[in-house]
Amino acid sequence: MTIPIALTIAGSDSSGGAGIQADLKTFAACGVYGASVITALTAQNTQGVTAIHQVPSEFVGAQIDAVFSDLDVRAVKIGMVSERSVIEAIVAGLDRWFKGAVVVDPVMVATSGDRLLAADAIEALRQRLIPRAALITPNLPEAAALLDEPVARQQDDIVSQGRRLLALGCGAVLIKGGHGESAESTDYLIGKESVVVLAAPRIATRNTHGTGCTLSSAIAAGLAKGEPLDASVRQAKAYITATITAADRLKVGHGHGPVHHFYGFDRSEN
């Protein structure tokens, strides 16, 4: 059996709920083999980030070369890249090895509120990495930060920000509505000629650690399996909604707990 392979390039979460760990769990749950390139080590748990250890850019490049020289990667998800030199190493590695679909989740702030992206790396993200992406997946505050604008609240303003993000050179933009205040969590998939509105009921839970990582990885998994972008985003939206709905079953940690990546395999209630 040949299994589709997806690669995550992101930071490690020592508590297992976000970052590389969430990405690999998502890939597995979605039927894709996951490989990883670690950009940073974080000391964190459900209550916050206490320390970050950056992986040298040269070693990030070495990991990329090791993976691509051996594995047939079909899609790439990029998460936490907090330094300009690491962004440059990733772009150079992709230029050497990969011409396929890249999903960029511009992780700038953790669910706990901790800042994860250095200010001097934001411009490199805009100029170097975003133009390489088939899709970027900012939440409402991240979309605003990338544009140096206030957070959009109304649909017209959200779509307008999405179109300005498109002008940075990516193929499409998915602005996530998890930080909104309505009864529904509404995401907007904005392409060059279309806007797709994806709504789901807002789930009343504090266990949302790793939601952004999980959604972007689920999209990458769909792309790795050969699904078109629109279908990959729709399937990922359904998956993340289900993982949040089941999150309270896990009871992990004392803060913002993780979503339930393997809710479909849960035998604890049998």
Q: Which of 46, 211, 214, 241 is catalytic?
A: 211
Q: Is 213 a catalytic residue?
A: yes
28 contact partners, CB below 8 Å, separation of at least 6: 34, 261, 262
Which of 26, 111, 137, 208 is an active site residue? 208
DSSP 153-207: -SHHHHHHHHHHHHTTT-S-EEEB-TT--SSEEEEEEE-SS-EEEEEEEPP--S-
- Extended beta strands in the chain, E state: 5-13, 33-45, 48-54, 73-78, 101-104, 135-136, 173-175, 184-190, 195-201
251 given a catalytic annotation: no
Q: Phi and psi dihedrals of 54, rounded to 5?
A: -75, 135
The active-site residue, picked from 210, 214, 222, 257, is 210
Q: Among residues 30, 39, 186, 213, which one is catalytic?
A: 213
Our answer to whether residue 171 is catalytic in this structure is no
Pick the catalytic residue: 26, 30, 46, 176? 176
Residue 23 near residue 77 (C-beta atoms within 8 A): yes
CA distances from 268 to 27, 249, 263 (A): 22, 9, 10
Mark whether 77 is an active-site residue.
no
Alpha-carbon span 60 to 39, nearest angstrom: 6
210 annotated active-site: yes
Query: Catalytic site residue 191?
Result: no
Q: Which secondary-structure segment (H or E) carries 142? A: helix 140-147
Report d(CA 36, CA 79) in Å as an integer. 11
Annotated active-site residue in 16, 93, 212, 257: 212
Q: Can you tell me the distance from the alpha carbon of 103 to that of 187, in angstroms, rounded to the nearest whole number?
A: 16
State both tokens at 148. 């140096």
User: Which of 145, 229, 150 has its CA nearest to residue 194?
Assistant: 229
Known catalytic residues are: 176, 208, 210-213
